[in-house]
Amino acid sequence: MVRGALALELVPGSQPGRAALRQTEAGALAERVGRDLATLAGDVAARDLAALDLVLAGAHYDPAEMLRPGWPLHRRLEELHARAPQAAGPRVIAFGADAEGVVPLPLRAELELHGGPLRVVPFLLVGPAAQATAVAEAFEHALLERGMAGADTALTAQDSFEAKVEHARYLTAYDLAAMMALQYRHVGLGALWPLLETALLAPDEDAWLDAPPEPLLRYVDGAVRIAAFDRAGWQHRYAPDERDPVRIDRGFAHFEARQRQLVAILKVHGLDVHGVPCSATADPREALG
């Protein structure tokens, strides 16, 4: 299968007026998305694409909702696809809101994550493994370079979601992850990305954030453990030569604020975070083991 999204870059300061599309609107958007993807695939990959079903969610999400361990949005689309009536040949399947405009819970966007300048409309391409692999490889090269949505597709998304869209383009899930990695580095959060990347792409592996003055974190067993230092423990690891109590208090306060920031980001990406008490007498790496 191929995981992707129609990414909508909004006019700064604006927000979509609607969270989800009704079924007919979602279907109309899906038809245009399918046409665009066939064009972007090129002649060879387009033949493989023709063997795949397109499954689209008629709702928009924060990128962090898509970039979560196990890819829950796409997994839900896969489950819904499996329940859809069978038909001969490739299908375009869209899932929208009910008659009251409500999206079923597994696909409902989190309201507290509204407000960002980028919203993503997830889609899934499902079918024979060989064709899906060929299309995935083609899109990994094509979409970042020339993945702009058609003008009528962008207009359909803009009108349907009542949004002010500056740019509309297609991304694979891996493209989106790479974009987020760059954004996190740009805002001083690059040290956290290897943990998130491990959780997304190699969830059975182990990863550390061990780079003072950053908090100490370990991703293991599908969750994150964070060293919860007390004041003395923080000073022992991060400021062993400092003797001014005011400077120690200020440094510890900044450290705790940074911890809260990292924990909030990890939770937005769907990761459980567990604090592990650490004192000046304990080896924090052993504590997180």
Sheet of 118-126: strand order equals 92-95, 53-57, 118-126, 2-10, 165-172
pLDDT tens string 161-182? 999 999 999 999 999 999 999 9
pLDDT given at position 91: 86
What's the pTM?
0.89
DSSP-derived letter for residue 20 is B
Exposed / middle / buried, residue 187 (Cβ in 10 Å: 0-12, 13-18, 19+): exposed
Residue 107's pLDDT is: 67
Distance from the Cα of residue 9 to its chain's centroid: 15
158: pLDDT strictly greater than 70 = yes
**286 token code pair:** 């052993």
Model pLDDT, residue 105: 60
The separation between the first and the last C-alpha atoms of the chain, rounded to the nearest angstrom, is: 36
- pLDDT tens by residue, 61-109: 999 999 999 999 999 999 988 887 777 668 899 988 776 666 666 666 6
Tell the residue number behind the tokens 């989106």, with chain if given: 176
Q: What is the mean pLDDT of the chain?
A: 90
Nearest alpha-carbon partner for 141 in 101, 175, 183, 166: 175
Residue 112 pLDDT level (bands cut at 50, 70, 90): low
* Angstrom distance (rounded) from CA 156 to CA 84: 25
**What's the confidence (pLDDT) of residue 251?**
96
| The predicted structure's pLDDT at residue 200 | 95
100 or 138, which is more confident: 138
Rounded CA-CA distance 5/119 in Å is 9
Grade residue 115 by pLDDT with cuts at 50, 70 and 90. low
In this prediction, residue 280 carries a pLDDT of 76
Packing angle of the helix pair 129-146, 173-186 (nearest 10 deg) = 40
Whether 96 contacts 60, CB under 8 Å: no
Q: How confident is the model at residue 2 (pLDDT cuts 50, 70, 90)?
A: very high
Rg (the chain; Cα; Å): 22
Flag whether pLDDT at 126 surpasses 70. yes
Q: Considering Cα of 17, then 20, then 22, then 26, what sign does the dihedral take?
A: positive
Q: For residue 99, which amino acid is it?
A: A
Residue 80 near residue 43 (C-beta atoms within 8 A):
no
Q: What is the pLDDT of residues 224-243, one digit of tens each?
A: 999 999 999 999 999 999 89
* pLDDT category of residue 141 using cuts at 50, 70 and 90: confident
- Torsional sign, CA 145, 184, 155, 45: positive
Could you give the percent of the chain with pLDDT greater than 90? Answer: 69
Between strands 223-229 and 273-278, the pairing is: parallel
Q: Which pLDDT tens digit goes with each residue over 188-222? A: 999 999 999 999 999 999 999 999 999 999 999 99
